[in-house]
Amino acid sequence: MLQATGIYKSYGTLPILKGVDLHVDKGEIVSLIGASGAGKSTLLHIVGTLDRPDRGTVIVNGTNVGSLQAKQLSVFRNEHIGFVFQFHHLLPEFTALENVCIPAFIRKESRRKAEQRAMELLSLLGVDHRANHKPGELSGGEQQRVAVARALVNNPSIVLADEPSGNLDSENAASLHNLFVELRTQLNQTFVVVTHNEELANIADRIVHIKDGLIESVDRHAG
């Protein structure tokens, strides 16, 4: 599902990634952990096509994303990659349902089909009763579940999550972690998760330790 090979990235004279290889199989949950500045988020942004490596190859679902022009890359990203960030980034003037639909509308999906898919996901995530509420009327946990639904609305090949529970209390964080496992089970969804949260890291099939821009070690878990 994801194959990143020989990834190098520097900002100015500061090297961030120094030749990282990462592969992720369909339906797998992989956690990336390490100290601040180790290169975790940079790697996530590169495999998510939000940034380009100085050297190296990224293949997502069989497509070499480095070969795509900017407009092609934007379309590919919208259709194949879902993102969940620490802060939900929901648009405050739109309802939960409308926020979930946005990536589908960008894909030029019909309103009926987009709303049907969005409601299915909101129901799966237990927040369908909040579909017509705006983000300011939702709790932090509900907002993050809406953000997860938005990430899933286009049936992405892979979901990339950057500190997704970092802004949640322990109860909502645990609920979100369990949700990722349920989505993997029910939808065979693939996840790569950057986290400092040990409990979230431990739900993964593999924990990839990154230190000073290199993969230091990989731990395998039962998931």
User: Is the predicted pLDDT of residue 220 greater than 90, yes or no?
Assistant: no
Q: Domains (ranges, CATH) in the chain? A: 25-38+69-220 (3.40.50.300)
Give the CA count within 13 Å in the CB-facing half-sphere of 20. 36
Least reliable range by pLDDT among 1-5, 118-122, 179-183, 197-201? 197-201
* pLDDT for 118: 93
* pLDDT for 223: 43
Q: Is 53 helix (H, G, I), strand (E, B) or coil?
A: coil
The answer to whether the CB of 26 falls within 8 A of the CB of 1 is yes
* pLDDT for 221: 66
Element counts in the chain: helices (H) and strands (E): 7, 10
Q: Which residue has the higher pLDDT, 173 or 88?
A: 173
Helix axes 96-106, 111-124, angle to 10 degrees: 130
What's the whole-model pTM score? 0.85
**Digit-coded pLDDT (tens) for 18-77:** 999 999 999 898 989 888 878 888 999 999 998 899 999 999 988 999 888 888 888 898
